[in-house]
Structure 1
Amino acid sequence: MIITNEEGYPQALVDACQSDYELEPNEWRVTSLLKGPREAILERRHSHEITRDVSDMIWLLFGTSVHSLLERVPIGPLEFREERIKIPIGGYVLSGKFDSYDAGEKLLTDYKTCSVWQIINKRFDHWRQQLLIYAWMLEKIGFECNQARVMTLAKDHRRSLAKFEKGYPRKPGQAIPFTFSKKDFGDIEVWLIERFSEIARLEQLPDDQLPVCTPEERYNSGTKYAVMKKGKKRAVRLFDNAQAAQDHIAKGKGDFVEIRHGEDKKCMDYCVACEFCNYYKEKVEKHVQSA
């Protein structure tokens, strides 16, 4: 990846954005494996062409600084931190680096900087899957791990809202616990084998023939059907399906339905390989330019 510094940040911050870890051939990180296959493969293929500016990586730097501070905390007698594990699967190598593992408690801990809304909406499935894979990897090298937790650090937490708004987290940091069963380990092993089999097949395809990321992988906000009244710009009501919107009009509560297509937020703001993706160029970029 090419790191630029258009805003003139100190060189120390530029250096912090540079990764000093080089993947071996056919080595895949857990975090990459959890992305949509198109995004992950494009990112690997064009890694030396992708450009990012330091100013767009501020939250990455924030997360890195948090981990640096945690490294200064004394390590317990049965604790391991920032260890990288490599497990062969078929013709590939799965590579994962966890934050902390306590062999006494059989507990895996990961620290996540996130939006407070991720906590409010309980969007934890992706975190659980990542930690389950780390736990499975630990089990493979002889360390039992039947539980994990994410220690959250909500970067946009507002104390004023925490005092009065129902459901708003009281603190910017909290623990999100997970437990794992033998079935979980069996299921994730099957998923990993199938994922690498899929990658082996897709790596033979050119960029524009890779399967488009799913709406979930694109963080698509979902198409909405807006019931409108003539001469009004604001919707009377929004619906998730067309029939419900038409039924609302049949009750005399609107004149016509306006379709509002969902936005692909991942493509627009977070995918570093988007410039090499024909879906982005044809569906997202053109839509943004014409808006």
Structure 2
Amino acid sequence: MKVTNHTNLPEPVFKALTHSDYSRGHSNRSVTQLIDSPRVRILRKEHDDEITEDVSDMLWSVLGTSVHTMFERHQPEGHIVEERLFAEVDGWSISGAIDLQRSEADGTMTIMDYKCTSVWSVIHGKVEWHKQLNFYAWLAEQKDGVKVIGLQIIAVLRDWQRAKSKIETNYPLAPIVIVDVPLWPAEERDRYVRQRVKIHQEAEYERLTGGHIPRCSDEEQWKRADTFAVKKRGNKRALRVFDSMAEAETFAGEAAEREIEERRGKRVRCEDNWCRVAQWCEQYENEAWS
């Protein structure tokens, strides 16, 4: 990947932001790769030398790593800090680094993951947190005698505002909060892990044999919901915007001067190129012109 420096940051800052000690160890895939789109992973691998990112865009990721490092320096009794676990699934070695494992009095385990994130993520929740931590629970239980009973996110909120915490009902009360994540049944976790490995293995095979790699789902594209705008004919501005066609039709009624415009939800990850490979993605190109 090529890193630019459009804001002319000094060399020490540039080096600090571009430095990385990350390693997934001797594994074929990591948990974060497996829960994500195989299309994105394959295209990133194929175009690694062409992908460009500005160093300023790395700031939040590096700050998140710094938060991890600060917390990892302290390991009280009964806690396991930053342990990378490995397991074999259908011929692949997979791994995941768990930020914190806390042994409970009865010998069970609670898994915690640190996130430097936004207030929005805590208020609305993130499905990928559920997937990641349940994958970690599966990995942890591959060790003899381990039983996971709880999953938690330790969320550091980079955009928290004290004033809003005092007046908004669902707003977090502090800039660092604990978010409980639902623990799936063991059978569901096992099924999910094997399904994700299979999806990525099949995608690899398709690419190697000249086939088509799987399309990204709406969730993987961070797609916003479609909406339906009721407008006066000839006007660009909507009278009202609805989440369903039925609601829009009810509001529009039989008035001849009103029309309904379907507005496709933005595919945020693609259109804003958060995936970094949109320009090489056939799916994105086709959907952009559809």
TM-score by length of 1: 0.86
8 Å CA contact retained: 2:29, 2:95: yes
How far apart, CA to CA, are the structure 1 residues paired with 2:215 and 2:254? 39
Matched residue count: 282
Q: 1:22 to 1:4 in 2, by over 3 A?
A: farther
Could you report, residue by residue, the CA deviation over 1:42-78 in whole angstroms, capped at 9, with x for unpaired residues? Answer: 2233334433221111110120111122123x31122
CA–CA separation in structure 2 for the residues paired with 1:267 and 1:93: 30
The residue number in structure 2 matching 1:138 is 140
- The amino acid that maps onto 1:193 is R
Deviation by residue 1:66-121 (Cα, 9 ceiling, x = unmatched): 1122123x311222111111111112111100111123452211111111112222
**Match in the other structure for 2:77:** 77
Indicate the residue corresponding to 1:125 in structure 2.
Answer: 127
Alignment of 1:278-289 (within 5 A): 278-284=282-288
C-alpha separation in 2, matches of 1:253 and 1:173: 53
Q: Which segments of 5 or more consecutive residues in structure 2 lack a partner in the other structure?
A: none
Match of 1:63 in 2: 64
Structure 1 counterpart of 2:217: 214
Match of 1:167 in 2: 170
Q: Distance in 1 between matches of 2:239 and 2:41?
A: 41
Deviation at 1:267, TM superposition (A): 1.3
- 1:113 corresponds to: 116
Q: Summarize the Cα distance change of 1:208–1:242 in structure 2 as closer, same or farther, 3 Å threshold.
A: farther
What is the aligned partner in structure 2 of residue 238 from structure 1? Answer: 241
The SS at the match of 2:224 is coil
- Partner amino acid for 2:45? R
AA aligned opposite 2:284:
Y
Query: What SS does structure 2 have at the residue aligned with 1:59?
Result: helix
Matched residues in 1 for 2:221 and 2:94: separation? Answer: 24
Q: Distance in 1 between matches of 2:117 and 2:275?
A: 17
Contact 1:225/1:239 (<8 A) preserved: yes
The one-letter code sitting in structure 1 at the alignment partner of 2:242 is F
Change (3 A) 1:25 1:149: closer
In the alignment, what sits opposite 2:47? 46
1:223 CA displacement: 1.7
Could you say if the C-alpha distance between residues 152 and 102 of structure 1 is closer, same or farther in structure 2, counting changes exceeding 3 Å? same
How does the TM-score come out when normalised to structure 2? 0.86
Contact 1:110 1:151 in 2 (8 A): yes
Residues 140-191 of structure 1 show CA distances to partners (whole Å, capped at 9, x for unaligned) of 022332212111112111222222122222222211123536xx22211112
Report sequence identity in percent.
29
Shift of the 100–13 alpha-carbon distance from structure 1 to 2, 3 Å rule, reads: farther
The one of 252, 268, 271 aligned to 1:265: 268
Q: Which moved more, 1:35-44 or 1:245-254?
A: 245-254
Unaligned runs of 5+ in 1: none
Deviation at 1:192, TM superposition (A): 1.4
Q: 1:153 aligns with which of 153, 156, 160?
A: 156
Matched ranges for 1:93-108 at <5 A: 93-104=93-104, 106-108=109-111
Matching of residue 5 in structure 1 with residue 5 in structure 2: yes
Paired amino acid for 1:119: V
Contact 2:17 2:59 in 1 (8 A): no
Residue identity in the other structure for 2:90: G
Aligned residue runs from structure 1 range 169-208, under 5 A? 169-178=172-181, 180=183, 184-206=185-207
1:89 counterpart = 2:92: no
Q: CA–CA distance in 2 between the matches of 1:84 and 1:26?
A: 11
- Match of 1:140, SS? coil
**Match of residue 29 from structure 1:** 30
User: How many angstroms apart in 2 are the aligned matches of 1:95 and 1:139?
Assistant: 13
Residue deviations 1:184-236 (CA, integer Å, cap 9, x gap): 22211112112212222211234882222111211111221100024544311
| CA distance in 1 between partners of 2:256 and 2:59 (Å) | 47
